[in-house]
């Protein structure tokens, strides 16, 4: 992921995980992001619109007091600061075992993660307040990992617990809740051929 800064031909870039659906116009988000050289989401929500506070998947962040950054949605502007951050990110990701053992040794994570690597870079540069804002409602995304949905009896797959429906106008409903913003569906089999057909019909391809 560190290569994106160098690969992007644009002065400003929003980076999304591949397993995401954009469900609304993001013009106001772009306007907000122009205030930053680099921005990472730090607040994510359940499909019911509730702020996720569980650290079920992020206990290493909590144990090592690392900033709660999500690289699944982030923004950068071609700038000296963003370039410095990505240079550090390259260094950390290419030497992750060394950096994790120093900055994330509690509940040591045995695999490379761009989220954890970005959090370590933010700690090294002491820049978390410069690259995120946990007071704002957006940018953010709906995060569908099952063990942070607040269910008393979670399933290993969220699709086993709640139904979904995509209208011909591409309005997405999960259970009884209409979704908006960015939907991080996390499970590859969520995007069926039927959903792809609806998208193709809507855009006329």
Residue 30 confidence (pLDDT):
97
3-state secondary structure of 177: strand
Do the domain assignments include residue 194? no
Mind listing the pLDDT tens digit of every residue in the chain (205 residues)?
A: 889 999 999 999 999 999 999 999 999 999 999 999 999 999 999 999 999 999 999 999 999 999 999 999 999 999 999 999 999 999 999 999 999 999 999 999 999 999 999 999 999 999 999 999 999 989 999 999 999 999 999 899 999 999 999 999 999 999 999 999 999 999 999 999 999 999 999 888 8
Residue 55 confidence (pLDDT):
97
Residue 191 confidence (pLDDT):
96
What are the E-state strand segments in the chain? 12-16, 20-22, 38-41, 70-77, 142-143, 164-166, 172-174, 177-178, 182-184
Do the domain assignments include residue 158? no
pTM reported for the whole predicted model:
0.94
3-state secondary structure of 85: helix
Do the domain assignments include residue 50? yes
Which residues partner with 178 through β-bridges? 173
Do the domain assignments include residue 143? no
Residue 33 confidence (pLDDT):
98
Residues 23, 28, 32, 38: what is their CA dihedral angle, to the nearest 10 degrees? 40
Per the structure, the complete domain to which residue 30 belongs is given by 4-131
Contacts 24+ apart (CB under 8 A), 169-173: 169/202, 170/23, 170/198, 170/199, 170/202, 171/23, 172/21, 172/23
Residue 43 confidence (pLDDT):
97
Do the domain assignments include residue 187? no
Residue 205 confidence (pLDDT):
87
Do the domain assignments include residue 186? no
How far does Cα 192 stand from its chain's mean position? 22
Sign of CA dihedral 91, 82, 73, 101: positive
Helix %, strand %, coil % of the chain (to 5): 35, 15, 45
Number of domains in the chain: 1
Helix axes 114-125, 80-94, angle to 10 degrees: 120
Do the domain assignments include residue 32? yes
Do the domain assignments include residue 151? no
């Amino acid at each position: 992921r560190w290569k994106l800064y160098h690969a992007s031909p644009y002065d400003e870039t929003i980076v999304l995980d591949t397993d995401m659906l954009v469900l609304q116009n993001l013009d106001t988000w772009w306007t907000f992001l122009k205030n930053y050289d680099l921005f990472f989401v730090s607040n994510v929500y359940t499909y019911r619109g509730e702020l996720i506070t569980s650290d079920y998947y992020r206990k290493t962040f909590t144990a090592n007091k690392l900033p709660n950054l999500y690289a699944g949605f982030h923004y950068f502007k071609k700038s000296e600061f963003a370039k410095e951050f990505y240079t550090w990110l390259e260094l950390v990701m290419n030497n992750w075992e060394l950096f994790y053992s120093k900055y994330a040794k509690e509940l040591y994570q045995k695999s490379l993660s761009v989220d954890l690597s970005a959090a370590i870079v933010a700690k090294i540069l002491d820049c978390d307040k410069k690259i995120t804002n946990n007071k704002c409602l957006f940018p953010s995304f709906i995060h569908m990992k099952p063990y942070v949905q607040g269910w008393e009896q979670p399933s290993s797959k969220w699709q086993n617990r709640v139904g979904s429906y995509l209208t011909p106008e591409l309005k997405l409903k999960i259970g009884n809740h209409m979704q908006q913003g960015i939907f991080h569906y996390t499970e590859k089999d969520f995007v069926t051929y039927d959903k792809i057909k609806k998208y193709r019909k809507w855009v006329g391809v």
